Amino acid sequence: MSTLDLNVGPQHPGSGHMRIIVRTDGDLIVEATPDVGYVHRGCEKIAESRNIIKNIPMLERPNIADSSHLNWSYIQPIEELQGVEVPERGRYIRTILCEINRIASHLYGMAIMAGIFSGHTTMYMYGFGDRELLLDLAEMLTGARMTFSFFVPGGVRRDLPKGFKEKLLETLDYLQRRLVAIDRIFVNNPVFVERGRGVGILRKEDAIKLGVVGPVLRASGVRCDVRKDAPYGAYDKVDFEIPTFKEGDSLSRWLVRFEEIKQSVSILRQAIRDIPKGPIARKSPIVIPRGEAISRIESSRGEINHYIVGNGSDKPYRVKMNTGSFKNLLALPFLLRGVRIGDLPIVYGGLDYWPVEADR
């Protein structure tokens, strides 16, 4: 059998820079090797020569669509080592911003997979247009549309402004109506379902063996979510479910994100109703005591961890970042074996791989 080696990338629409070297026999893919590292900037090395506050804007930029989770994951071990406890209102505000960010990031991921990779431009316009309203909300709260730099050790930087609650509830009503429209036009659409159903199946045993995280894991039938297993912030005080599907194909990965948006809308309604009064931050010194700590946060692409080793100075001794996209990278060569070339965008879009987050 004679095979052909093809290059997918490193520039391709709908995603950052990464290359997949694909070996095909006719139309079927025999072997796929990802080649990553095109956007590696050395964040971990730079973080050792800057103090805690100066690291915040740099370490949240690996994922600009979902930056508040990276920010929280960097701040959590520092607060653990310093012994600072965030007040209740600060925890609720952090949860509100993170859930707004989760809806915006899931709309982005759904728009890219259904819109660019499979050619339905309507979903691209719906996703990005509705995302503008959520970015308006974040701008009202923090002052910036993306990469907010809003969490500092000890709490948050600003309180909820006047008129935020009304605007949030109006936006959530609009979003719920919009989700019904997406349900009617896409989820029951035979053209879209046919492209994704049964493509790139990941069974439960393989998902556990390969160590995938996030919506990819929950689409294969494993009920794991850090917000329920090890609650942080205000997640132990709100009621929500974790959507899981059994099939493990690309369509289920898209549907997990769709269902998670509905759960996030419910969390936001409960959080803005129950938020207590009080201070938003506690004082915290610009020093990391001796010791080491690790954080666990559930971002929209999976579990992210920061492992921080401190040595008593204002600069961290070692910062290790682990993101959901880096863990899901191991599943890409496994899933691409045996699919056709035409299905490669659907499998790649279902994983929602963000190259800058994986390369740091």
Residue among 286, 322, 308 nearest 52 (CA):
286
Under the binding rule (CB under 8 A), the answer on residue 119 touching other proteins is: no
The answer to the question of residue 26 lying near other proteins (CB under 8 A) is no
CA gap 70, 80 in Å, rounded: 16
Can residue 158 be called a binding residue for other proteins (CB under 8 A)? yes
Q: Does 82 bind other proteins (CB under 8 A)?
A: no
Tell which one of 276, 279, 330, 342 touches other proteins (CB under 8 A). 330
Q: Which window, 24-32, 68-76, 137-145, 235-243, contacts other proteins (CB under 8 A)? A: 137-145
- Rounded to a whole number of angstroms, the CA Rg of the chain reads 21
Q: Coil, helix or strand for 152?
A: strand
* Neighbour tally for 338: CB within 10 Å: 11
Helices vs strands, H then E, count in the chain? 15, 9
Among 50, 197, 237, 262, binds other proteins (CB under 8 A): 50
- Rounded to whole angstroms, the maximal C-alpha distance in the chain is 71
Q: Among residues 5 and 139, whose Cβ is nearest to other proteins? A: 139
Examine residue 307 and tell whether it contacts other proteins (CB under 8 A). Answer: yes
Task: Determine if 28 is a binding residue for other proteins (CB under 8 A).
Answer: no
342 class by beta-carbon count within 10 Å (0-12 exposed, 13-18 middle, 19+ buried): exposed
Q: Which is nearer to other proteins, 136 or 194 (CB)?
A: 136
Give yes or no for residue 55 binding other proteins (CB under 8 A). Answer: yes
**36 vs 76: CA distance, rounded Å:** 29
Cβ of 49: how many Cβ atoms within 10 Å? 10
Q: Is 139 one of the binding residues for other proteins (CB under 8 A)?
A: yes
Q: How many CA atoms lie within 13 A of 55 on its CB side?
A: 32
239 by Cβ neighbours in 10 Å (0-12 / 13-18 / 19+) ranks as exposed
Figure out which of the listed residues 6, 21, 201, 208 binds other proteins, where binding follows CB under 8 A.
208
Nearest distance from C-beta of residue 303 to other proteins, angstroms? 7
The site that binds other proteins (CB under 8 A) totals a number of residues, namely 63
Dist. CA 19–CA 64, nearest whole Å: 21
| 189 touches other proteins (CB under 8 A) | yes
Q: Does 294 bind other proteins (CB under 8 A)?
A: yes
The residue ranges that bind other proteins (CB under 8 A) are: 36-37, 40, 42, 44-46, 49-50, 53-58, 80, 129, 132-133, 136, 139-140, 143-144, 147, 149, 157-158, 161, 170-171, 173-174, 177, 181, 184-185, 188-189, 208-211, 222, 224, 229-230, 293-294, 296, 303, 305, 307, 309, 317-318, 320, 322, 326-327, 329-330, 359
